[in-house]
């Protein structure tokens, strides 16, 4: 487990910024660091106190920046390294923290390391990536790049076929070309990773969201090698940057927390059942009330127990890889979904634009390796000025075409409307920030989470403070057995509840946070 736990994580509420699409200040159609700086007050006013910025490093952008070609320089389209440093400083002035996105598993094919490693002659980068020792031999189960180098070998890929896998070794090498974690090449890769982290942490970044953190060591089914690798990184951080925060894209908190991460994400793929809640044919949060939260709760509790009830599983409202929340959840139900997201343990992550109900833009041609993800990455809608205030570039120059429906939500409209989603989220954040039990580390106990039934009820508690959360997304009343004694309702959306003879009945489409005894 992580030895140092930055205090600010306890009540952190993250805002994820996809930098391309947030705010463009030099009219090139692409968001930039200055654009983020100019909107920090907006983010702060919403109540978020931390940022996760998607990769903003030099890249040919075949996977929107998850294909890094130089880890030490930002992509010129966003500004300079000094601009990013200024962004860190501006955040700190507002008591906000920033996580950069660290992509340790692969680089772009254009990275100079990869170009060197493709050469037939041995050089310091020969073992930087996972190569077989013959073009005719493919690395099993990994996909590969072959036939483009003088080097006689196939290079394993980590994600798209232009993202060669960096070499951290194999947990149990079986073939001659598979190196052990302790071989010189893998050790050098790991040291370089620490150099990269050192570089940005020294400049003022507060930590990292780590891309595909659980898959660095190959043929490591139980994650033991990868855990050991991250423990090594943890020891370095404890020594040099004890307050650095680490959040993993891993999806197995028992493993990631052992590796020294502070928090892990609940993922929208794999066994989490996260999609049952928001993104499937009958999501739990739809007003139809036909969905099921029970499998999600079962999995959540399994992970919660396995990670020593630390409650550090972060549930995002969405992200750059999945459909916009507003594609499947509508109207008041978005507010109810946020009542859930903002009352769960771990740090909540709000994907830019989700706070105003930005929609998934249908029918777009893929941009920068986005494919079906492109519709969730369209430029932020600020106001009713040209290009919704995102950029003054001609519309056809925008990074991704915008939602052009007449009634598209904008931050300005939402802020002017006291009943908007924006204001509900702001209110929810306020309630969370003034009640410790609702924050990252408060414990959770599910009170009612039955198969195909509403409501969902859970108790959050910390010390003496106990808060019962009852969420009913369905357009009909719902009830459950409740033997808590209500003291005070601290948040209510929709109608009130009735409590009679140990049975609580809650109104259709409602959410309640009740202090109880
Ligand atoms: C996960 C990132 O979130 C996604 O956007 C990216 O394409 C892959 N990892 C590969 O880095
Ligand atoms: Ca720009």
What is the secondary structure of 478-517 as a DSSP string?
Answer: EEEE----EEEEEEEESS--EEETTEEEE-SSEEEEEEE-
Pocket test for ligand 1, best of 159, 269, 371, 377 (most atoms within 8 A of CB): 159
Q: What is the mean pLDDT of residues 415-420?
A: 98
Which class for 7: exposed (0-12), middle (13-18), buried (19 or more C-beta within 10 A)?
exposed
Does the pLDDT value for residue 4 go beyond 80?
A: no
Ligand 2 (single-atom ion) residues, CB below 5 Å: 24, 26, 28, 30, 32
Cβ of 61 less than 6 Å from ligand 1: no
Q: Please say whether the beta carbons of 448 and 261 come within 8 A.
A: no
Q: Please say whether the beta carbons of 26 and 385 come within 8 A.
A: no
Q: What is the pLDDT of residues 478-510, one digit of tens each?
A: 999 999 999 999 999 999 999 999 999 999 999
Which class for 472: exposed (0-12), middle (13-18), buried (19 or more C-beta within 10 A)?
buried
Residues forming beta bridges with residue 514, ordered by sequence position: 468, 489
Cβ of 368 less than 6 Å from ligand 1: no
Does the pLDDT value for residue 197 go beyond 90?
A: yes
Q: So what's the pLDDT on residue 76?
A: 98
Does the pLDDT value for residue 67 go beyond 80?
A: yes
What is the model's pTM? 0.98
Confidence at 2, pLDDT banded by 50, 70, 90: low
Strands (E), 338-410: 349-351
| Arithmetic mean of pLDDT over the chain | 97
Q: What is the mean pLDDT of residues 212-241?
A: 97
Q: What is the pLDDT of residues 397-409, one digit of tens each?
A: 999 999 999 999 9
Which class for 384: exposed (0-12), middle (13-18), buried (19 or more C-beta within 10 A)?
exposed
Q: What is the mean pLDDT of residues 411-420?
A: 98
Does the pLDDT value for residue 454 go beyond 80?
A: yes
Q: For the chain, give the percent of residues with pLDDT over 70.
A: 99
Which class for 453: exposed (0-12), middle (13-18), buried (19 or more C-beta within 10 A)?
middle
Confidence at 311, pLDDT banded by 50, 70, 90: low
Cβ of 66 less than 6 Å from ligand 1: yes
Does the pLDDT value for residue 162 go beyond 70?
A: yes
d(C-alpha 14, C-alpha 319), whole Å? 12
Does the pLDDT value for residue 250 go beyond 70?
A: yes
Does the pLDDT value for residue 333 go beyond 90?
A: yes
Q: Which ligand is closest to the CA of 390, given by its number?
A: 2
- Closest CA relative to residue 196, chosen from 150, 233, 147: 233
Q: Please say whether the beta carbons of 27 and 391 come within 8 A.
A: yes
Compare 376 and 270 and report the one with higher pLDDT. 376
Q: Which ligand is closest to the CA of 215, given by its number?
A: 1
Q: So what's the pLDDT on residue 217?
A: 98
Q: What is the mean pLDDT of residues 159-182?
A: 98
Cβ of 67 less than 6 Å from ligand 1: no
Q: Please say whether the beta carbons of 311 and 346 come within 8 A.
A: yes
Q: So what's the pLDDT on residue 312?
A: 81
Q: Which ligand is closest to the CA of 321, given by its number?
A: 1
Residues forming beta bridges with residue 500, ordered by sequence position: 503
- Helix (H) or strand (E) segment spanning residue 113: helix 112-117
Pocket test for ligand 1, best of 56, 66, 102 (most atoms within 8 A of CB): 66
Cβ of 268 less than 6 Å from ligand 1: no
Q: What is the mean pLDDT of residues 134-158?
A: 97
Q: Ligand 2 mean position to 82 CA, how many Å?
A: 16
Q: Ligand 2 mean position to 52 CA, how many Å?
A: 19
Does the pLDDT value for residue 173 go beyond 80?
A: yes
Q: What is the mean pLDDT of residues 246-271?
A: 93
Atom of ligand 1 nearest to the CA of 159: 10
Does the pLDDT value for residue 3 go beyond 70?
A: no
Q: So what's the pLDDT on residue 306?
A: 87
Q: For the chain, give the percent of residues with pLDDT over 90.
A: 96
């Amino acid at each position: 487990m992580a030895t140092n736990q930055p205090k600010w994580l306890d009540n952190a509420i993250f805002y994820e910024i996809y930098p391309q699409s947030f705010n463009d200040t030099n009219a090139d159609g692409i968001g930039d660091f200055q654009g983020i700086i100019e909107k920090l007050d907006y983010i702060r006013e919403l109540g978020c106190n931390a940022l996760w910025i998607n990769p903003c490093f030099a890249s040919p952008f075949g996977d929107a920046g998850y294909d890094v070609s130089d880890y030490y320089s930002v992509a010129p389209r966003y500004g300079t390294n000094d601009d990013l440093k200024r962004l860190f400083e501006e955040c700190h002035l507002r008591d906000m923290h920033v996580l950069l996105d660290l992509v340790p598993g692969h680089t772009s094919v254009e990275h100079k390391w990869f170009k060197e490693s493709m050469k037939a002659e041995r050089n310091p980068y020969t073992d930087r990536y996972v190569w077989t020792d013959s073009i005719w031999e493919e690395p099993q189960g990994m996909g590969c790049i072959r036939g483009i180098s003088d080097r006689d070998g196939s290079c394993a890929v980590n994600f798209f076929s232009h993202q060669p896998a960096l070499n951290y070794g194999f947990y149990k090498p079986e073939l001659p070309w598979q190196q052990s974690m302790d071989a010189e090449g893998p050790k050098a890769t790991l040291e370089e990773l620490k150099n990269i982290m050192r570089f940005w942490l020294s400049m003022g970044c507060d930590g990292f969201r780590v891309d595909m953190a659980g898959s660095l060591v190959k043929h490591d089914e139980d994650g033991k090698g990868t855990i050991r690798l991250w423990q090594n990184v943890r020891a370095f951080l404890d020594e040099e940057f004890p307050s650095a925060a680490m959040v993993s894209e891993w999806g197995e908190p028992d493993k990631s927390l052992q590796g020294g991460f502070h928090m892990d994400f609940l993922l929208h793929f794999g066994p989490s059942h996260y999609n049952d809640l928001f993104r499937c044919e009958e999501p739990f949060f739809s007003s139809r009330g036909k969905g099921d939260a029970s499998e999600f709760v079962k999995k959540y509790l399994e992970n919660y127990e396995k990670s020593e009830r630390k409650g550090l599983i972060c549930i995002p409202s969405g992200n750059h890889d999945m459909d916009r929340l507003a594609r499947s959840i509508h109207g008041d139900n978005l507010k109810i979904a946020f009542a859930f997201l903002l009352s769960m343990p771990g740090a909540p992550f709000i994907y830019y634009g989700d706070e105003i109900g930005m929609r998934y833009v249908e029918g777009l041609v893929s941009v920068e390796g986005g494919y079906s993800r492109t519709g969730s990455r369209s430029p932020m809608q600020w106001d009713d000025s040209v290009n919704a205030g995102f950029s003054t570039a001609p519309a056809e120059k925008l990074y991704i075409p915008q939602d052009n429906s007449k009634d598209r939500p904008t931050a300005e409209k939402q802020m002017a409307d006291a009943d908007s989603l924006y204001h509900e989220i702001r209110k929810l954040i306020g309630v969370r920030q003034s009640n410790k039990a609702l924050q990252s580390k408060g414990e959770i106990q599910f009170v009612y989470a039955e198969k195909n039934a509403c409501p969902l009820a859970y108790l959050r508690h910390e010390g003496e403070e106990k808060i019962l959360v009852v969420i009913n997304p369905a357009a009909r009343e719902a009830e459950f057995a409740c033997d808590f004694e209500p003291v005070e309702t601290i948040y209510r959306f929709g109608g009130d509840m009735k409590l009679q003879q140990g049975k609580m009945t809650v109104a259709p489409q409602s959410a309640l946070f009740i202090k109880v005894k």
